[in-house]
Structure 1
Amino acid sequence: MSVSAAEAAEYHSKDFDWETLRQEIENDPSLSYHLLPFVSPQPEQQVSKDPIKAWQSFHIQHSSGKFFKERRYLLKEFPELVSCGDGSKVLEVGCGNGSTALPILRGNDKIILYACDCSNETLQRAKEFVVASNVASVEHRFRPFYCDFATTGFPKWLGCDYCRENFGPKDPNCISDVREERTLETDSQSMEEGSCCIGGVDFITLIFTLSAVPLQIMPTALKECFSVLKPGGILLFRDYGLYDMTMLRFEPVQRVGFREYMRSDGTRSYFFCLDTVRNLFVCAGFIELEIEYCCVKSVNRRNGKNMQRVWVHGKFQKPA
């Protein structure tokens, strides 16, 4: 067994019970502020920070890629990425430095992976990271491109208006009205010139990306994902869960919404419960296939402290 496979095989997702953790947190007076309703500040008290610029600055600061570890567990959690047929198209939304792209490309040498991010600097690092891995035919299968999917939508070469309407939802209220405002700034532009579009994708991976989007525009972001997914296609979701260790570290002044926080650098993080995830995806038109908490206990190597991590794992399908 390879090192990658061995590490994936050792991954656990049920190290502790989420309900037990919930009771502990909700009975701890020192953490009660996380449970309180959020009172929106007055307009003159609000601090305006552009989330896109904040994430761009974050990625520039961590451009070495050491901040992110390769997510080798993904193939165990989402085996569909290994078993899908030749030529399957996968869209990774919010690819970062390539820590998710690389295990996907390694796990299936027949897929084409389109990967977007809101930072050109990060896309360049991801491309360098993936190319340096010597994965088979990676230069033909990895296609990064710039996109701020939550506010400007996906580019038309990914799914043109005609294709989106033909495999879009029957409810007109579920059709995305996000318009393309940015131009493609990577190799994908010349690659797709002269064709209508690639006809949508078979899979979308949304891994620790939705939580970085302001809560009020999450519905629009998911409808945009829905619009470029082929009928019967599957969206694979993983993100921060309610009462994750990182949520409990935020101070009261860092709350910008209910279960929504902002770091000092302007980047946001939302912590999902299962019902919130379920409602967001169902309202966007998806069918729920799987949804659960992943509860993982790990040890901080520097101080030896136990860390209780909570993530939401989900699979959602577009009706055929």
Structure 2
Amino acid sequence: MADSSPESGARRPQFGSRLLSDPARVFHHNAWDNVEWSAEQAAAAQRKVQENSAQRVCPEKQVDYETNAHKYWNDFYKIHENGFFKDRHWLFTEFPELAPIQNQNHLMDLLSENKRSEVPECRSNADGPGLITEEQHECSSHSLGHKTQTLPVEEKVTQKLSHLEISADEFPGSSATYRILEVGCGVGNTVFPILQTNNDPRLFVYCCDFSSTAIQLVKTNSAYDAARCFAFVHDLCDEDQSYPIPRDSLDVIILIFVLSAIVPEKMQKAITRLSRLLKPGGMMLLRDYGRHDMAQLRFKKGQCLSENFYVRGDGTRVYFFTQDELDTLFTTAGLEKVQNLVDRRLQVNRGKQLTMYRVWIQCKYRKPLVANTG
């Protein structure tokens, strides 16, 4: 596990502390944490990427995948509905900011710092909770027992957004004092655990997805509560399509394996637009595919669209990031780094005696409390 911040001299504690010290024991568990790659393994991964990216998808098909992206994702959700992904209860371990009391305490700390120095200092979360393995996701619900807490009171905001005047009295969730938006929500595997965990009536959750089929599945879920949640179809890359939320009104924005699904050239503008929705001190949370993840190495020739960007057999697309690339996207949008980690995980299929090396990146970036005038 690597942290690009200078404060990362010490390792953060690992969830479960499953460190593989004896290769002979590799099949004793379903997953191992913090797996270091040898120079030979890294070189082999690089060779595999060069090999599978040598032949690119033809320009006509590339246009089709971009123009009809909504169709491919709608087809995906029509086929899988809500049976493909598990509910992401593990997010509360990785992102305690999703529990309002955690974010409130963090915001109070920032306000205190700002009062003393007038310039907030970006603090590392390198000693935060460790990244957890997939088989531990289901058993991490013991960490969800948060008590109802008083949330920070929000000042009213008015913003002219895409020629539409949105005021604090008009938009969905305008009476809430703590607001979370998930972009690329799929069928609600993140949204519903949040709603079930946080029962404070002052919490409001927004969720959007490119796929109208996915949003329909969210709205027809028995756990969907229109009084606490607003689901809407939204194209992250459409600069002319406004969000139904004023700027400076969100406490948290969540991006879980969604940024990687869009064309790399459109990522910066998408993140910049989202950053405007955050309150000062608000957080953007991301978890996505890292460079040389097993999924990237498995692609065959002819599936590469551009460097590190591929199309799957079902027409959906995926990009594989480096830490530096994500850091550039967020800081260019005016956000400050809190965390930028690489999670290298060795997953094991004990029945088939197979090993799978996964690489994910986890980021936390916040909007400064004081605008950068430099």
Q: TM-score, normalised by structure 2?
A: 0.64
Comparing both structures, which one devotes a greater share of its residues to helix?
1
1:237 to 260, 264, 286: 286
Conserved? CA contact 2:192–2:223, under 8 Å: no
In 2, distance between residues paired with 1:22 and 1:62?
39
Looking at structure 2, the residues matched to 11 and 98 of structure 1 have their Cα atoms a distance apart, in angstroms, of 30
- C-alpha distance in structure 2 between counterparts of 1:47 and 1:284, whole Å: 28
Q: Which moved more, 1:145-154 or 1:112-121?
A: 145-154
How many pairs are equivalent? Answer: 267
In structure 1, list runs of 5 or more residues that go unmatched: 1-8, 133-137, 168-199
Asked whether the equivalents of residues 205 and 228 of structure 2 are also in contact (C-alpha less than 8 Å), the reply is: yes
Aligned twin of 2:64: 48
Q: Does 1:157 align with 2:173?
A: no
Larger Rg: 2
CA distance in 2, matches of 1:29, 1:285: 32
Determine if contact 1:154/1:224 at 8 Å carries over to the other structure: no
Q: Distance in 1 between matches of 2:16 and 2:187?
A: 24
CA contact (8 A) 2:251 2:282 kept: yes
Change (3 A) 1:28 1:290: closer
Give the equivalent residue in structure 1 for 2:136: none
Note the C-alpha offset of 1:273: 0.8
Matches within 5 A, 1:138-217: 138-152=225-239, 155-159=242-246, 164=247, 200-217=249-266
What is the percent sequence identity of the aligned residues?
34
Per-residue deviation, residues 144-166 of structure 1 (Å, max 9, x unmatched) = 1111122246635312xxxx4xx
Equivalent residue letter for 1:242: R
Closer, same or farther: CA 129–299 of 1 in aligned 2, 3 Å: farther
Per-residue deviation at 1:28? 5.7
Q: Secondary structure at the match of 2:237?
A: helix
Q: Which amino acid aligns with 2:179?
A: K
- How far apart in 1 are the matches of 2:317 and 2:347? 24
AA matched with 2:284? L
For the aligned residues, what is the CA RMSD?
A: 2.9
**In structure 1, C-alpha distance between the alignment counterparts of 2:57 and 2:211, rounded to whole Å:** 30
Q: With structure 1 as the length reference, what TM-score do the two structures score?
A: 0.74
| Superposed CA offset, 1:213-246 (max 9, x none) | 1101000110111121112110011001111111
Distance change in 2, residues 1:35/1:254 (3 Å): closer
CA distance in 1, matches of 2:217, 2:58: 40
Q: Deviations over 1:81-107 (max 9, x none)?
A: 112453310000010011111222233
Alpha carbons of structure 1 residues 280 and 39: separation in structure 2 relative to 1, 3 Å: farther
Please list every run of at least 4 consecutive aligned residues from structure 1 whose deviation after the TM superposition is greater than 6 angstroms.
11-14, 38-42
Any residues of structure 2 matched to 1:8-47 within 5 Å, and which? 15-17=32-34, 20=37, 23-27=40-44, 31-33=48-50, 43=59, 46=62
Distance in 1 between residues matched to 2:319 and 2:38, nearest whole Å: 18
Amino acid aligned to 1:308: Y
**Rounded Cα–Cα distance in structure 2 between residues aligned with 1:30 and 1:261:** 16
Question: Does the 8 Å contact 2:342/2:360 carry over to 1?
Answer: yes
Q: CA deviation at 1:29?
A: 8.0
